[in-house]
Amino acid sequence: MKIFYAIQATGNGHISRAMQLFPYLKKFGTVDFFLSGNNASLNADLPVKFKSYGCSLHYSKCGGLNYWDIAKNVRPIQMYKDAKSLPLKDYDVVINDFDSITSLACKVQKIHSVQFGHQASFVSDATPRPEKKSIMGEMILKHYAPSEKHIGLHFEKYDSFIHPPIIKDEILNSNPKNLKHITVYLPSFQQDCLEKAFGKHKYIEFHWFLNDVKSKYTVGNITYFPVNQSDFNESLINCHGIITGGGFETPAEALYLGKKILSIPIRKHYEQECNAAALKKLGVPVVYEVGDNFDFIIENWLNTEVKKPSIQANNINETLQYLFDTYNNK
């Protein structure tokens, strides 16, 4: 069986998930990956056969989306050409992890596909949403990468087609410890937005992973890391807690490890607001605005006993078998 797997390369979560799935997918057939997008910092250690500039998110300096940069980097004519050129008819199965070009290619070429991943879970109205829904956000979640079939991933089984998160083998096979440091992964924040707040907690060690850091270095109580799997996994497995965004993969891994979490969803990023709503239901503290009092927010979080809910890890073999059975049941 020949498998086409499309990865949305906005951020690193989709790539990380694909890397974990690849050895399991190979049991079902040969796999070619399509990488769509241009602002992921994680190296895709995968057989990427096709690439597209695609459509990517861009961030403001301190925790928000930069809509101007997003708009000016969209190349609709090229995206249509890329969609027409993808040889989808050469494949037996098309798996789409929230990529609009692959969805367009399927429509143009009249090819069947299955949307697989976290965003697929939002097809269900039972999946948590913030108190104030966004009409535009709902349209993007449900129509950005449409497909005939959906297999979602989320913290809990909110609907029949939703499965537990994909947890990396390094996390599953780890022996978690508490070495007292705080891991920080906030891709939408630049260094000077937060380092003053971290620096005020002189007796707490912070491991801060940043896209523009090229090599590890330490200043005071903050150790800066480039974004890579091995260092991040080690830091997360051994941390006291993690400060991260409202993404999916990182909070899921932290929940699985039983780590303390402080979530800061990207401003006006509707999917992250939805994830934050789900995390709040689980008892995870969420901060929506970061200002001059962020050091006090950190102190309060560190000194307050918060719920550490546990979640189930995905049985990847069973989920993939379900995926292929669902795909073939057209």
Q: Which of 47-56, 152-161, 220-229, 245-254 has the lowest mean pLDDT?
A: 47-56
Whose CA is closest to 116, among 229, 31, 53, 44? 31
Average pLDDT over the chain, rounded to an integer: 90
Asked if residue 207 and residue 135 are part of one domain, the reply reads no
Q: Band of the pLDDT at 233, cuts 50, 70, 90?
A: very high
CATH of the domain at 237: 3.40.50.2000
CA distances from 203 to 65, 150, 182, 198, 222 (A): 33, 47, 11, 10, 10
Which long-range contacts does 278-286 make (Cβ < 8 Å, 24+ apart)? 278/127, 278/128, 278/154, 278/155, 278/156, 279/155, 279/246, 279/251, 281/128, 282/155, 282/156, 282/255, 282/307, 282/309, 283/307, 283/309, 284/251, 284/255, 284/309, 285/261, 286/246
Give yes or no for residue 65 having a pLDDT over 80. Answer: no
pTM of the full structure: 0.91
Q: What is the DSSP letter of 119?
A: G
Q: What is the DSSP string of 61-77?
A: TBSBB-HHHHHHT--HH
pLDDT at 12: 80
Residue 308 inside a domain? The answer is no
For residue 176, give its domain range: 169-303
As for how many domains the chain has, the answer is: 2
Asked if residue 41 and residue 81 are part of one domain, the reply reads yes
Asked if residue 111 and residue 8 are part of one domain, the reply reads yes
pLDDT at 108: 93
Q: Band of the pLDDT at 8, cuts 50, 70, 90?
A: confident
Give yes or no for residue 64 having a pLDDT over 80. Answer: no
Give yes or no for residue 274 having a pLDDT over 70. Answer: yes
Give yes or no for residue 70 having a pLDDT over 70. Answer: no
Asked if residue 297 and residue 320 are part of one domain, the reply reads no
Give yes or no for residue 313 having a pLDDT over 70. Answer: yes
